[in-house]
Chains A and B, each alone.
Chain A
Amino acid sequence: MDLLNAIIALSNFVLIPAVAYGSQLALGALGVTLIYGILRFSNFAHGDTMAFGTMVVIIFTWLFQSWGISLGPLPTALLAVPFGIAATAVLVLGTDRVVYRFYRKQKVKPVILVMVSLGVMFVYNGITRIILGPDDQRFADGERFLISARDFKAMTGLSEGLAIRTTQALTVVVAILVVALLFWFLNRTRTGKSMRAYSDNEDLALLSGINPEKVERVTWVIVAALVTIAGVLYGLDKSYKPFTYFQLLLPIFAAAIVGGLGNPLGAIAGGFVIAFSEVGITYAWKKVLNYALPDSLAPDGLVQLMSTDYKFAVSFVILVIVLLFKPTGLFKGKAV
């Protein structure tokens, strides 16, 4: 029995990865929830918007690397993020102008807008694959570890190592900053307040003289920033592949719905709920239990509840359970 080592192993394999993954999901889910709250439809092109933003960042990262610009221990990609956000903002604003606005004017049913977003998804998908191809790309550089497992062992003398990758630390820090900024914007600024008013009650907001066009434009720009940052963080932490980003749609939507669609706070909570359950259920607990339990109780098998290939099943099951028992999500969401 060795509780300290058990805690270290738990943090190393479950807590830290889940916190990083949860932050990425939360940023993605915030985008989904904002679009749902203000533009009032579920955007199926979200994952591919993410892929597009990340692609632009990757291209700029390569450009900077070829110029010899770097951020030292931090990934060069951070320098490229503003360009990615700008390009994505142009893309989504253009899409909104050319595609979505027409349907908004007609006040079509939300499900038609979802259908339209399927078409947009195809187009984005084609664009990203034509420009950068469908393959894996790695673009992380700089220092790999904040603390490596070996240093940690040398420092503490424990038999378990605790590794914190730079990308994981960076993910959490950036996510906190972005979320703080977003909430400050939504709660303190005039535009942010008008966005919330528009989301709560469209007619009343229009009567009070809020300009819907402006609200919608600002929303798209914020969403572009959120998805690009989320996509870059995910790509740095794991790797970039357009199809993986498309598949992220499921956990991201699960996070947004579990938290309550249209509720930003819920999106963050949902992201962490989904991430912790995914990592927790697909992790083989043998090591942690070996430390935590007396020798006589130590497990024989891997104590892995489900193989990692079923991680989608986890987010899905949580989604269904929440929807069955609390249809508006953990935090009160809105229903269109």
Chain B
Amino acid sequence: MRTFGLFALVAVLILGTGLLQSWNAALLILNMGLVSAVMALGVNLQWGIAGLFNVGVMGFVALGGLGVVLTSTAPVSEAWAAGGMRVIGALLLGAATVIGAVLVWTRIKNGLLTAAVLVVGFFVYRWLLDPGVEAIEAINPALQGNLGGLGLPVLLAWPIGGLLAAGAAWVIGKTALGLRSDYLAIATLGIAEIIIAVMKNEDWLARGVKNVIGLPRPVPYEVDLQNDPSFVERAAGFGLDPTTASTLTVKLGYSMLFAVVLIVLLVLAQLALNSPWGRMMRAIRDNETAARAMGKDVTFRHLQVFILGSAICGVAGAMMTTLDGQLTPSSYQPLRYTFLIWVMVIVGGSGNNLGAVLGGFLIWFLWVQVEPMGQALMGLVTSGMADGSALKAHLQDSAQHLRLLTMGLILLLVLRFSPRGLLPER
């Protein structure tokens, strides 16, 4: 009943935006709300069900976005000819070096030899990589200068983005999951920053800070719809002009696709939560030692759920990049892509999948709407001041930062007065 009521509230909020502001704004909120809900599901799987403290969500989201570029853009054949194989070879060699070093360490237990393998491997890797990278980045740098992708349909990028994130999660999990909870937090925070640094600086991969724009879309383009006579006719039948109708149609198309993903993942997550596997995960979360004594492989289960949750975040990241139609590595900020997702999960109710989804919608709605509210508030506060005074201008400028403050307050209030969230775990 409470679940239903709260979801109805979210629906009313979004419909209200449609009626009072514009339907385009409402659909924008809905679409990003769907994406946020998927991210929150991923984090909830890790924290709510398994008790893993992952603050590297941003990194996995960004990897999902990278997946879109690597899957759906057309390959740049000149770049592949110029240095593609060299770069791939260098990367394989780099991986081989790390694996070799780990093997030497575990089998022979010789620190000096391990260090030697790493150092020699590193220099050979740089010697192999650098000329290749230079050659690739020299090719048509204004538009390309990267290897491009596989030229596959963009919808395929969503699972591939998830796979990329899962791969990264495996590496991180292997090294960091043995650590205590707050060490894991620092480790994931660091990994996320490193992933963003790689995406910003490795231009051959996805053009770095030069951004990739004009990614293919799974839905038709507005212009094509407007030029389609039968579409214009149907729009007129609803009493809409073709421009508005086309933007709404495109956004609705995204909403449908995202809703399908969210529902599938939600059903899977619910089934998992109520299965023996879910009970085992919660048992591990509540008492690791007892679970271990019952013969559960805690380390492996942690790794498993860490990879699953990260993969979901990767899928959400790929969905988001597809929605934006561009990949801009510099736009990834931890406050927005890691900690905001955490606020969603905590506020919604950790351990409850529906709660996470609800938190995703609700917090996203607030995140978008607090800004105009802040403007209005600042307008009220400053209404008594003289026009053109420096303080007034400053206060009105800083209204946009009120959203951070609001999110912090919401998180603190929920943690204090309703620590189990709006929809507590059953």
Contact = CB atoms under 8 A, between A and B. Distances in A.
Interface in A295-336: 301, 305, 307, 309-310, 312-313, 315-316, 319-320, 323-324, 327, 335
B236 interface: no
- With a 10 A CB-CB cut-off, give which of B189, B333, B342, B415 has the most chain A CB atoms: B415
A273 B181 CA distance: 24
Given A42-B186, A114-B53, A324-B175, A125 B404 contact: yes
A177 interface: no
B408 A310 contact: no
Contact of B190 (A102, A110, A134, A254): A254
B233 to A, nearest CB: 49
B55 to A, nearest CB: 8
A320 B193 contact: no
A134 B187 CA distance: 26
Interface string B191-230: 1011001001100000000000000000000000000000
A123 interface: yes
Given A99-B412, A119-B408, A319 B175 contact: no
B191 A316 contact: yes
Contacts of A324: 175
Interface stretch (B251-259, B292-300, B395-403): B395-403
B401 A129 contact: yes
A186 interface: no
Given A134-B401, A257-B183, A307-B201, A125 B190 contact: no
Interface size for chain B: under 10, 10 to 19, 20 to 34, or 35 or more residues? 35 or more
A246 B189 CA distance: 12
B380 interface: no
A313 B197 contact: yes
A126 B402 contact: yes
Interface residues of A, number: 49
A254 B412 CA distance: 26
A63 to B, nearest CB: 15
A133 B333 CA distance: 17
B8 interface: no
Nearest to B397: A133
B405 interface: yes
Contacts of A335: 180
B412 A120 contact: yes
B188 to A, nearest CB: 10
B342 A118 contact: yes
B411 A119 contact: yes
A106 to B, nearest CB: 9
Contact of B201 (A99, A131, A246, A310): A310
B135 to A, nearest CB: 16
B156 interface: no
Contacts, number: 124
Interface in A116-146: 116, 118-127, 129-131, 133-134
Nearest to A125: B404
B197 A309 contact: yes
Nearest to B194: A313
Contacts of A253: 186
B194 A119 contact: no
Main SS class of interface, A: helix
A187 interface: no
B179 interface: yes
Given A122-B335, A125-B335, A129-B404, A102 B416 contact: yes
A57 interface: no
B181 A110 contact: yes
Contact of B346 (A42, A115, A320, A323): A115
A316 B294 CA distance: 35
Nearest to B408: A122
B339 interface: yes
A309 B187 contact: no
A125 B335 CA distance: 10
B263 interface: no
A312 B198 CA distance: 11
A122 B340 CA distance: 9
Nearest to A42: B182
A111 B187 CA distance: 15
B128 interface: no
Contacts of B407: 122
A316 B194 CA distance: 9
Given A110-B181, A115-B415, A123 B405 contact: yes
A111 B197 contact: no
Contact of A123 (B185, B408, B415): B408
B240 interface: no
B116 interface: no
Contact of B193 (A102, A123, A250): A250
B95 interface: no
A133 B336 CA distance: 17
27 contacts: A42-B182, A42-B186, A44-B185, A119-B343, A119-B409, A121-B408, A122-B404, A122-B411, A123-B412, A124-B408, A125-B408, A126-B402, A126-B408, A130-B398, A130-B405, A133-B398, A254-B186, A254-B190, A257-B186, A301-B130, A310-B201, A312-B190, A316-B187, A319-B187, A320-B176, A320-B187, A323-B187
Given A133-B394, A313-B197, A327-B179, 10 more contacts: A114-B182, A115-B346, A115-B411, A119-B409, A119-B411, A119-B415, A123-B412, A126-B406, A129-B398, A319-B187
